[in-house]
Amino acid sequence: MNWQSILGNFALILFVLTVVTGIIWCIDVFHLAKQRRARAKAALAEFDERMAKLDAGGVKSDMNARAKLEADLLRQPTWIEYSGSFFPVIAAVFFLRSFLYEPFKIPSSSMVPTLEVGDLILVNKYTYGIRLPVINKKIIEVHQPQRGDVMVFRYPENPSLDYIKRVVGVPGDNIVYKNKRLTVNG
C-alpha cells in the first residue's frame, strides 16, 4: 500500500483519527483529569492556608484569585481539549459514512442524462448489506441488487477509483451488447 492510496482512502483516515482522538480522550478522562484534580486540590489547600494567614493578619483575601487559580489548574492542555472535542464529531462522521450514507461525485458522463458529471449522490450504505469499514468485508447480507439500481463499486484494476453505474442485469439474465446496442433477455 503506497501513500497515495492511503491518502485517497478517506475511511482509513477517519478510522485512524477516531482511534487516536478516542485514545487521547480516554487517557484524559480516566487518568490525566484525576491527576489535574489532585494537583488542583493540593494547590488550593495551600492557597486557602495562605489566605487564612493573611486574613488573620488583617489583609483582605481575594476570592476571585482563588477561582482563577482553580480554573487554571483544572484546564486541559489545548491538544487534549481539541482531541476531546473532535473525537465525538469524527466518530459520528466515521459511523455515518461507514454504515449509513456516503456522498459520491459523478466522475464521468456514463450516467447522462439522469446523472450529470459533477452531480453529487448520497449512497445508502446498508441496502445490500453491512460492510466493515477500511477492509470492506461484508458481514451482513441484506438485499441483492435489482435491475435499474445505481451502484457504487471499486474499479477492479484500480481499487482507489469509485465507479458509479446502473445495474442492467441480474444473475440469470442474458445480456448482449452488439452494434452499440444493449439487449437484456431478448
pLDDT at 93: 96
Q: Domain 106-176 belongs to what architecture?
A: Ribbon (2.10)
The answer to whether 68 is a known catalytic residue is no
- Single out the residue of 69, 63, 3, 9 nearest to residue 36, CA to CA: 69
Identified catalytic residue from 105, 110, 138, 160: 110
C-beta atoms surrounding 133 within 10 Å: 19
> Residue 134 above 90 pLDDT?
no
One-letter amino acid of 163: Y
pLDDT tens digits along 62-98: 778 889 999 999 999 999 999 999 999 999 999 999 9
The answer to whether 61 is a known catalytic residue is no
One-letter amino acid of 182: L
Q: What is the DSSP letter of 80?
A: H
131 bridge partner residues? 138
More confident residue, 20 or 134: 20
pLDDT at 84: 94
For Cα atoms 97, 86, 84, give the angle at the middle one, nearest 5 degrees: 135
Domain with CATH 2.10.109.10 in the chain: 106-176
> Residue 8 above 70 pLDDT?
no
pLDDT at 38: 96
Total-model pTM = 0.75
pLDDT tens digits along 21-54: 999 999 999 999 999 999 999 999 999 998 888 8
More confident residue, 14 or 9: 14
